[in-house]
Every structure is written in structure tokens, then in C-alpha cells.
Amino acid sequence: MMTGIVSMTVTSRSNIHSLVKEKIRARVLDALAAGWTPEELWEERFWNFTEKGNRPGLMACMRPEQDIGEITPEYIELYRDDPVYARVVSRFYKKENDNGSF
């Protein structure tokens, strides 16, 4: 039997979208300088099928609790601080070009 009420903060999809957009906008010049295209950064569809396969953008994969760390030509580091694991780091990798390079 539950005796307490669980409190949850519900964040609307548009608010999540705005938070992620702000974080990308703050680092967009660094990403463009590293060779990332606007499509790779701003594509919002996770299932974005093209002739080269599924190509979701950073906007589709990033969560509002994540921040952008290192930006390289091969990947963009995403991290979040966690009370148990300290810092959780993941990488959003750039898809290879047809010639196998980034």
C-alpha cells in the first residue's frame, strides 16, 4: 500500500526542445569550425532516413540534462552530472562520408 504521493516534474516537449536548442546554439560555432554541418546539429527527427541510412541530428539525440563537452571532427561529447556516478559521458559520433572519412 502506498502511503505517500510521488511528485514528478513534467516538462513539455516544447520546453525540452528549447533547452536542448539553447545548449547547441551556445556551441554551434565550435561545431561548425570542427566540420559539423547544420543538418548534423539541428536535425530533430530521430528516424531521419536518407539514401545513406538513418541520420538523426544532435538535436534528436541530446537530452536537456546533458551538456556539450569536447567537440572534435569525429564526435561531440555529451555529459551530465549524476549523484551516483559523478559524471556520465557519451559521444554523438559523426557519420562517415562515402569515402570512409569524417
Q: How many domains does the chain have?
A: 1
Q: What is the pTM of this model?
A: 0.73
Cell digits for 75? 564526435
pLDDT tens digit sequence for 47-64? 665 677 667 889 988 999
In a domain, 82, yes or no: yes
The residues pairing with 90 across neighbouring beta strands, listed in sequence order, are 78
- Say how many Å lie between the first and final Cα of the chain, rounded: 55
Residue 38 vs residues 4, 19, 81, 90: alpha-carbon distances, Å:
47, 18, 27, 21
**12-51 pLDDT, tens digit each:** 445 557 899 999 999 999 999 999 999 999 888 776 656 7
Q: What is the pLDDT of residue 6?
A: 42
**Quick check: is 84 in a domain?**
yes
pLDDT at residue 12, as a whole number: 45
Which residue range forms the structural domain that includes residue 89?
Answer: 65-96
pLDDT tens-place string over residues 56-98: 889 988 999 999 999 999 999 999 988 888 889 999 998 765 4
